[in-house]
Amino acid sequence: MLVRRLELLSEVERLARSLQIPEDVGYTCETAGYFWLLHVYSRWELFLAACAGNENNPSFVQDRFPFKEFFSDTPKPVFSGESFEKDMRAATGCFSHLKTVFQELEECRAFELLKSTADRANYLMTKQAKIVAMTCTHAALKRRDFLKLGFKYDNLLMEESAQILEIETFIPMLLQRQEDGHARLKRCILIGDHHQLPPVVKNMAFQKYSHMDQSLFTRFVRLGIPYIELNAQGRARPSLAKLYNWRYRDLGDLSIVKEAPIFHRANAGFSYDYQLINVPDYEGRGESTPSPWFYQNQGEAEYIVSVYIYMRLLGYPANKISILTTYNGQKLLIRDVINRRCVPYAFIGPPSKVTTVDKFQGQQNDFILLSLVRTRFVGHLRDVRRLVVAMSRARLGLYVFCRRSLFEQCYELQPTFQLLLKRPDRLGLNLSENSSAYTDRAVEEVGNPYLVHDVEEMAHIVHDRMNEFYKAQGVYEQYQNNMPQIEDGNQDMESDSVVGEDGESEKTVQPELDGVVDETSTEMEVDNGVSSENGKADEN
């Protein structure tokens, strides 16, 4: 608005010059308003009065139009002088342009009186903005301010409404005062998926006994209120969509995922577009809990990071790869391994995101590497809604790292894991494909798969690829001296920092500290007669 104001004032100065009036009338919006009344509009009225008796003179408009000099720089002459009616229409259009300029200046006039950024922002929101975007939390915090400002709106559109508390859904409907006892709000549109994760309620009593984790969206669906159900997805390959479309009624695929070439080509270097990779005990250990409910799995962390490095060496963009896990403890461990294995090398770098499934709801990426962590109990992945979120984040490739013997026995997860287990549970690689830029394999073709036996073998494959890369770059000796050894994985947790979700370093939560609780755990477990109630779910 401020830039536009300066542009319009320069036009006013040019108009003043064409009328041989001092240019200071374009100093402010206020002086421009006076100039409009005293010189522009008055000249137009005199011109209209003169035209009333000269309709038979075809060149009258061309000769007497008061702003002809201002419009003299147009590519073509404005007036032809051959027809009074035609020239009059052109003159009316020119005056409409001038009128619009001064109307816009009048709208910008408030910025000359409002000096602070906050006041200007409030003015824009209440007077100029057609669409205002905010979070439900911001709406709740600023509701009193919105009422004081006289904020008004007719339509409310709420996205991810199935993941919002009922009160958080209700407050945005009450951000304006009623007019004559009637609400101005005419339309409220809620968009969400009640088959995915519900709102997060940290107090277990409120969550379990008051059912506060039910969103207003879910309540409406449960009560049978008519709704529109989308029955086609346009995110993932049709083969990937089969992992979760059983949860929806008649969920099909949009034409784009059936016709676009990217969805028909295989993932270079991989035999399958999705796969479950069984991760046995690494160095004699599966899941570990350095502190209560702080779950980690060193083997899965090392395996996932090795696969990520393998993808980067093939040329997969880092921003197209996300690493997800179901527990905060594993998230921090993976970040720590990435900090040691990837960050020191610019050609590898960190992935787009390393976060939990709960945090990644509503987002997507081309390739997802998923760690399920647990080897003793299924954990909170038994909640099918969390499984749906985890399976539906990938567009082109999904690789799930877990303990097969545990998850294949879980009844709630059978529809998805039956599909996953139709393929080998050892990572299938096509080692002859050396670039992600091109592969002539169709997604249905597996090529010449090489099945990786375990974490150590994947580490050796990556190590050999790194050797080849450094030899090609002519810096092999420097690589041999600086490359961290894969066998030193147990020392990873001694690092002081990890790569955060935004790519910056952040403080590592040391797992040996007492009282560290994994916030994504929500289950009740019983082991040898000792029961423990897990902590709250990952924050929304």
Q: Using an 8 Å Cβ cutoff, are 492 and 341 in contact?
A: no
d(CA 47, CA 532) in angstroms, rounded, equals 89
Do 159 and 19 sit in the same domain of this protein? Answer: no
Q: Which two tokens stand for residue 19?
A: 């009328």
Do 105 and 134 sit in the same domain of this protein? Answer: no
d(CA 57, CA 82) in angstroms, rounded, equals 9
Query: Which of the four pLDDT bands, split at 50, 70 and 90, describes residue 52?
Result: confident
Task: Work out the end-to-end distance of the chain between its first and last CA atoms, rounded to an integer number of angstroms.
Answer: 36
- Is residue 77 over pLDDT 90? no
Number of domains in the chain: 3
pLDDT tens-digit profile of 497-512? Answer: 344 544 444 443 333 3
d(CA 314, CA 471) in angstroms, rounded, equals 16
Do 103 and 34 sit in the same domain of this protein? Answer: yes
Do 17 and 99 sit in the same domain of this protein? Answer: yes
Do 42 and 70 sit in the same domain of this protein? Answer: yes
Do 140 and 107 sit in the same domain of this protein? Answer: no
What is the residue range of 49's domain?
2-113
Do 335 and 430 sit in the same domain of this protein? Answer: yes
Query: In terms of Cα–Cα distance, which of 330, 322, 324, 326 is closest to 286?
Result: 330
pLDDT tens-digit profile of 394-441? Answer: 999 999 999 999 999 999 999 999 999 999 999 999 998 888 766 888
Q: Is residue 415 part of a domain?
A: yes
CATH number of domain containing 204: 3.40.50.300
Last residue in a domain, options 81, 113, 145: 113
Determine the pLDDT at residue 439: 80
Query: Which of the four pLDDT bands, split at 50, 70 and 90, describes residue 531?
Result: very low
Point out the least confidently predicted range of 202-211, 335-344, 348-357.
202-211
Q: Which two tokens stand for residue 504?
A: 């910056």
d(CA 482, CA 72) in angstroms, rounded, equals 71
Determine the pLDDT at residue 475: 54
d(CA 7, CA 482) in angstroms, rounded, equals 57
d(CA 456, CA 471) in angstroms, rounded, equals 22
Residues above pLDDT 70, as percent of the chain: 87
pLDDT tens-digit profile of 364-378? Answer: 999 999 999 999 999
Point out the least confidently predicted range of 132-141, 199-208, 306-315, 447-456.
199-208
Q: Is residue 237 part of a domain?
A: no
Do 79 and 136 sit in the same domain of this protein? Answer: no
Do 197 and 316 sit in the same domain of this protein? Answer: no
Q: What is the residue type of 315? A: G
Determine the pLDDT at residue 78: 86
DSSP annotation of 45: H
- Is residue 251 over pLDDT 90? yes
Q: Is residue 215 part of a domain?
A: yes
Q: Is residue 262 part of a domain?
A: no
Cα dist from 228 to 52, 191, 390, whole Å: 60, 10, 24
Q: Is residue 207 part of a domain?
A: yes
Q: Using an 8 Å Cβ cutoff, are 206 and 228 in contact?
A: no
Q: Is residue 125 part of a domain?
A: no
Q: Is residue 536 part of a domain?
A: no
Q: Is residue 483 part of a domain?
A: yes
Do 362 and 445 sit in the same domain of this protein? Answer: yes
Q: Using an 8 Å Cβ cutoff, are 311 and 269 in contact?
A: yes
Q: What is the mean pLDDT of residues 219-236?
A: 93
The Cβ-side half-sphere exposure at 146, using a 13 Å CA radius, reads 20
Do 213 and 279 sit in the same domain of this protein? Answer: no
Do 75 and 198 sit in the same domain of this protein? Answer: no
Return the SS3 of 281: coil
Burial of 193 (0-12, 13-18, 19+ CB in 10 A): buried
Last residue in a domain, options 222, 245, 278: 222
3-state secondary structure 440-470: CCECCCCCCCEECCCHHHHHHHHHHHHHHHH
